[in-house]
């Protein structure tokens, strides 16, 4: 924007300068229209541009010397393409000052100016020839003195194009009317202009009414009674309305800036969020050596996706200079109202820093948060943190050291941020306890035919994290643990947690977790659970109350999918169990076998009965998981009464299983049912169906066959023994 203003003023000044030069020349010759061809040729020879003078040139001599030019245009250098055109230009000079060799312009009128300024890829512009080096050196050595009674510019359009960057800017419908413009003389300014740009995206209309006083020699500027109004769209903001009022002054040579009764109000829409901000600066003074301000207030409102937010920032007193400043009591109040909860946030701290180095320090920060809502624990949560925060805007770093209450926990946190656009965050956080289930959304029963919601892990793609989190006691998804440690690294959508360790359910867990937040997410779990109470874990984690025992569980699993169900169906990897002194709940296989005499030859099917269980002293199994189906071939269950082997599938994707176990009673059975005459008999036991309604099938027909086989084998052994005995006796008789 600075470029278009700069080149716009230079271009306008060049065109107006040509017009003034023409007027002065014509005033000296007294026969302006007779010299059109000479003037055109002179411009052609000196500037290699084509000048068109389409209207009559009118001169005035008293009481002012001036020229009224009709329509004129000027071409690009060495080209017939039009560079600029003017519908009407009129310049008047005060006659008496000319007698003392002073030029006082009484009036400048330009109407219908249109021009296009171009910056080429090599850095040159299409007005370099109009701003020759010799002329620039002369103008730099000779101070410019303004004394213009009136300036009127209307219906002016300026365009700027940067061929190197592709940036395009347009100033359209520029209208400017002024009073007297001279050093040290207050002059009225009435300006209206439209501005459009593509880098950044901009389409605004501006109106300014004020009184301007300036001193070019001292580089002093002052605006009094300013009334600025801007409307349109900028960046991603639409329906933008800006109003500013008050007095402002600047001395560029000494870098002094001041505002008095300054007020700025901005409203608009950011995408779908409506916002409003108001800045009040009753007294503000900034010099190279000293800053001072009193009762500075910033109020803001936002109504959008995050809810209704009202913010108030106050700085009662500002003092210092560019190298060292301080605010005694910076205070920020936030009031956030959402559909289901509300938050009140209060932040206070002394503020000090260095404006030149852009360093800021909140040395004694206090942050209090009060949240209310029906879904919050006890419908209200209060927190208060204290510590310090340091910001280095040049290096784009933030360092925070905080401690205190957060939600229902006590925390100690060190957090560092590097880079503001794509922040890299490092952290070291210690939490005494945290119950995540209090804040997670409650599970809802999916309606029939309602499509499953896809997993949205897109937020992880912007994360750039490296840090450690330690939690004394943690509850999440109803799983309870303590001594939790997570070391997290996240970059470009790849999140690695290693180690991920904890103590839980009389045992321990150690391993890692990796998440690839691609369009189709991938999650990898590599964990070893040692000495775990499996019954307590499965009950809390999944409401699964079928297996008891303590021991080890190892898993190396990868899942991929855009929904939970698709991930379960794409589960792959390995899983192993090694449990001791436990039980399989739902059926007492040993008892069923001992009661088999009443059911020989029949197949018996029964649902799981949680009052029954099959005890074991050892249970081992390994699973190969492929596309959501865990296959096992090496089940080994041992107890004093029973041996169990088996193979089959557990379909994790469909929450069902189909498994065939072979149960064998020990040949000598004591206790827990006494002796039984079916010792050593093997009975197939099939477990099948959905997890919510498992069916156990005991094939006693196979048991009958096994009994018959054993009797045949026993009979064969008996006959064999008798034959051997008879043969032995016969041989003895023969030799005798």
| Predicted local confidence at residue 703, as pLDDT | 53
Q: Summarize pLDDT for 670-729 with one digit per residue, the tens.
A: 433 334 444 566 778 888 888 878 887 876 555 555 555 555 555 555 545 554 555 455
Domain boundaries of the chain, sorted by first residue: 1-197, 518-704
Spatial separation of the C-alpha atoms in residues 589 and 696, rounded to whole Å: 10
Distance, CA of 490 to chain centre: 14
**Helix/strand/coil for 20:** helix
**Dihedral sign of CA atoms 603, 607, 611, 612 in order:** positive
Q: Summarize pLDDT for 154-193 with one digit per residue, the tens.
A: 999 999 999 989 899 999 999 999 988 888 889 999 999 9
- pTM score: 0.63
Least confident piece of the model among 287-291, 338-342, 718-722: 718-722
Task: Please tell me which residue, 709 or 46, carries the higher pLDDT value.
Answer: 46
Tokens representing residue 400 in the block = 């925070």
Distance, CA of 534 to chain centre: 39
Q: Summarize pLDDT for 555-595 with one digit per residue, the tens.
A: 999 999 999 889 989 999 999 989 888 777 666 666 666 66
| Predicted local confidence at residue 441, as pLDDT | 65
| Predicted local confidence at residue 308, as pLDDT | 92
| Predicted local confidence at residue 295, as pLDDT | 87
Task: Enumerate the H helices of 100-155 as residue ranges.
Answer: 133-141
pLDDT above 60: residue 130: yes
**Residue 404 pLDDT grade (very low, low, confident, very high; cuts 50, 70, 90):** very high
**Mean pLDDT of all residues in 595-617:** 59
**Mean pLDDT of all residues in 516-535:** 91
Spatial separation of the C-alpha atoms in residues 61 and 252, rounded to whole Å: 40
Least confident piece of the model among 162-171, 287-296, 333-342, 396-405: 287-296
Least confident piece of the model among 428-442, 482-496, 654-668: 654-668
**Do residues 87 and 72 lie in contact, with contact meaning Cβ atoms separated by under 8 Å?**
no
| Long-range contacts, stretch 378-387, CB < 8 angstroms, 24+ apart | 381/407, 381/408, 383/407, 385/411
Spatial separation of the C-alpha atoms in residues 129 and 163, rounded to whole Å: 19
Q: In 3D, which of 121, 118, 141, 122 has the Cα closest to residue 130?
A: 118
- The pLDDT mean for the chain works out to 81
Task: Please tell me which residue, 48 or 668, carries the higher pLDDT value.
Answer: 48
Most confident option among 23-32, 290-299, 450-459: 290-299
Q: How is 154-170 classified by DSSP, letter by letter?
A: EEEEEEEEETTT--EEE
**Residue 39 pLDDT grade (very low, low, confident, very high; cuts 50, 70, 90):** confident
**Mean pLDDT of all residues in 437-457:** 72
* Tally of CA atoms within 13 A in the half-sphere of 368 that contains its CB: 8
């Amino acid at each position: 924007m600075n470029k278009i203003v700069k080149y716009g003023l230079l271009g306008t000044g060049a065109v107006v300068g040509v017009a003034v030069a023409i007027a002065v020349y014509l005033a000296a010759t007294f026969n302006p229209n007779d010299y059109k061809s000479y003037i055109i040729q002179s411009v052609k020879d000196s500037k290699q541009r084509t000048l068109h003078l389409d209207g009559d040139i009118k001169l005035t001599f008293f009481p002012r010397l001036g020229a009224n030019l009709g329509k004129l245009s000027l071409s690009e250098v060495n080209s017939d393409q039009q560079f600029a055109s003017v519908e009407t230009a009129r310049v008047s000079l005060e006659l008496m000052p000319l007698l003392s060799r002073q030029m006082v312009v009484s009036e400048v009128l330009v109407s219908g100016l249109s021009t296009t300024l171009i910056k080429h890829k090599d850095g040159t512009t299409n007005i370099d020839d109009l701003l020759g080096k010799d002329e620039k050196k002369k103008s730099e050595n000779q101070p410019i003195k303004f004394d213009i009674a009136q300036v009127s510019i209307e219906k002016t359009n300026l365009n700027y194009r940067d061929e190197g960057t592709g940036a395009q800017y347009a100033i359209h419908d520029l209208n400017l009317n002024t009073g007297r413009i001279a050093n040290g003389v207050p002059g009225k300014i009435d300006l209206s202009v439209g501005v459009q740009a593509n880098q950044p995206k901009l389409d605004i209309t501006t109106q300014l009414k004020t009184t301007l006083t300036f001193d070019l020699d001292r580089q002093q500027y002052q605006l009094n009674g300013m009334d600025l109004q801007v409307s349109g769209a900028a960046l991603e903001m639409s329906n933008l309305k800006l109003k500013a009022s008050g007095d402002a002054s600047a001395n560029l040579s000494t870098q002094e800036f001041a505002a008095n009764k300054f007020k700025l109000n901005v409203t608009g829409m950011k995408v779908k969020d409506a916002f409003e901000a108001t800045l009040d600066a009753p007294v503000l003074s900034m010099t190279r050596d000293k800053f001072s301000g009193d009762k500075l207030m910033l109020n803001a409102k936002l109504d959008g996706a995050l809810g209704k937010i009202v913010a108030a920032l106050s700085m009662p007193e500002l003092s210092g200079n560019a190298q060292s400043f301080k605010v005694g009591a910076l205070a920020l109040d936030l009031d956030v109202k959402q559909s289901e909860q509300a938050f009140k946030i209060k932040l206070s701290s002394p503020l000090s820093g260095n404006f030149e180095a852009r360093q800021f320090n909140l040395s004694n920060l206090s942050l209090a948060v009060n949240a209310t809502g029906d879904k919050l624990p006890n419908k209200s949560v209060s927190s208060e943190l204290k510590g310090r925060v340091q910001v280095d805007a040049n290096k784009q770093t933030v360092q925070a050291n905080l401690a205190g209450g957060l939600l229902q926990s006590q925390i100690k946190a060190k957090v560092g941020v590097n880079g503001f656009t794509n922040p890299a965050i490092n952290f070291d956080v210690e939490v005494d306890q945290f119950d995540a289930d209090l804040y997670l959304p409650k599970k809802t029963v999916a309606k029939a035919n309602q499509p499953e919601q896809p997993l949205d892990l897109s937020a992880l793609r912007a994360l750039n994290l490296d840090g450690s989190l330690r939690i004394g006691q943690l509850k999440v998804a109803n799983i309870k643990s303590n001594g939790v440690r997570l070391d997290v690294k996240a970059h470009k959508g790849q999140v690695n947690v290693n180690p991920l360790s904890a103590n839980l359910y009389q045992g321990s867990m150690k391993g890692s977790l990796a998440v690839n937040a691609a369009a189709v997410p991938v999650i990898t779990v590599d964990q070893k659970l040692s000495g775990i109470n499996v019954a307590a874990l499965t009950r809390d984690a999944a409401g699964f109350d079928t297996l008891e025992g303590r021991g080890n569980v190892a898993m190396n699993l990868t899942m991929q999918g855009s929904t939970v169900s698709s991930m379960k169906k794409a589960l792959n990897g390995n899983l192993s169990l090694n449990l001791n002194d436990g039980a399989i709940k739902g059926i007492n296989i040993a008892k069923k076998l001992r009661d088999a005499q009443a059911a020989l030859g029949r197949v018996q099917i029964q649902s799981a009965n949680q009052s029954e269980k099959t005890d074991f002293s050892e249970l081992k199994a390994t699973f190969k998981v492929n596309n959501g189906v865990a296959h096992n071939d090496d089940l080994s269950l041992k107890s004093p009464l029973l041996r169990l082997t088996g193979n089959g599938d557990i379909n994790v994707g469909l929450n069902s299983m189909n498994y065939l176990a072979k149960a064998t009673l020990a040949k000598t059975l004591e206790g827990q049912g006494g002796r039984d005459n079916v010792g050593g008999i093997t009975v197939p036991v099939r477990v099948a169906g959905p997890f919510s309604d498992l069916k156990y099938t005991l094939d006693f027909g196979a048991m009958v066959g096994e009994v018959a086989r054993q009797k045949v084998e026993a009979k064969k052994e008996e006959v064999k023994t008798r034959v051997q005995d008879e043969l032995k006796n016969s041989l003895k008789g023969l030799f005798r």
